[in-house]
Amino acid sequence: MKQELMFIRDFRPISGFDEEILDLKEDDLSVLPSKAGVYIIVSFKTKFIYPTGQSKVIYIGKTDSIRRRLKEHQRNLKFSINDKYAEYWHLDRYNYMRYHGARVYYYTCRGYQESKTLEAKIIEAFYKKYGAIPVANGARSFICTQL
């Protein structure tokens, strides 16, 4: 399992993620599954400082179609890089991806698993390890049970 994903090793199989996208800006995403799942966007080299550690994770998201959602992120990242919407503020996640790079790992849902539930488990695991949610996540989609 990749070092940046060790915070979720307790509830995913030893093989870890379903697939890795080496560069969100450049890679062809047409071969991705259109299944529901969760994706984790990480920096190429930058580690962000959290209350209880450092991590390359920028964003954790859920989707009903991995292919569609990551293509949307890819398009928005390219718009951010090319300043297509220079008169508007970009969402934080695209600025983090723009300046620190964007590698993506994704997990497809299995059986009756829902992407919202899987995302909540992954964000909760991240929070337990680092004491905060990822830098570009705005919404708290998990239930904080105990600190």
Q: Which CATH number covers residue 18?
A: 3.40.1440.10
Residue 31 lies in a domain: yes
pLDDT band at 5 (very low <50, low <70, confident <90, very high): confident
Torsion sign across C-alpha atoms 121, 43, 105, 9: negative
- Residue 84 in this model has a pLDDT that exceeds 60: yes
- Residue 146 in this model has a pLDDT that exceeds 50: no
Residue 141 lies in a domain: no
Residue 7 lies in a domain: yes
Q: For residue 65, what are the domain limits?
A: 3-130
Residue 145 lies in a domain: no
Q: Compute the mean pLDDT over every residue in the chain, rounded to the nearest whole number.
A: 83
- Rounded Cα gap, residues 143 and 29, in angstroms: 32
Residue 120 lies in a domain: yes
Residue 52 lies in a domain: yes
Residue 136 lies in a domain: no
Percent of the chain with pLDDT over 90: 38
pTM greater than 0.75 (yes/no): yes
- Residue 147 in this model has a pLDDT that exceeds 50: no
What's the number of domains the chain is made of?
1
41 HSE (CA, 13 A, CB side): 28
CB contact at 8 A, 61 and 26: no
Residue 146 lies in a domain: no
* 123 closest CA partner among 7, 3, 30, 4: 7
